[in-house]
Amino acid sequence: MGLCDRVTVLDYGCVIASGLPQQVRQDPAVIEAYLGRAAAHEAQP
């Protein structure tokens, strides 16, 4: 993420997030897809 201006994240071939790296990194769908459901719930304020 440090090398790109914009990123797109796929989950099983479907786009689940796209945008600035700092925004995508915090997206609950991205967190859930890559770290699991529990991590996604912990990341929400």
Q: Tell me, what's the pLDDT at 24?
A: 95
Taking the C-alpha atoms of residue 45 and residue 3, their distance in angstroms, rounded to an integer, is 27
Provide the whole-model pTM.
0.74
Taking the C-alpha atoms of residue 11 and residue 3, their distance in angstroms, rounded to an integer, is 21
Q: Tell me, what's the pLDDT at 1?
A: 75
Average pLDDT, 10 consecutive residues per value, the chain (45 residues): 91 96 94 82 65
In three-state secondary structure terms, 17 is strand
CB of 40 closer than 8 Å to CB of 32: yes
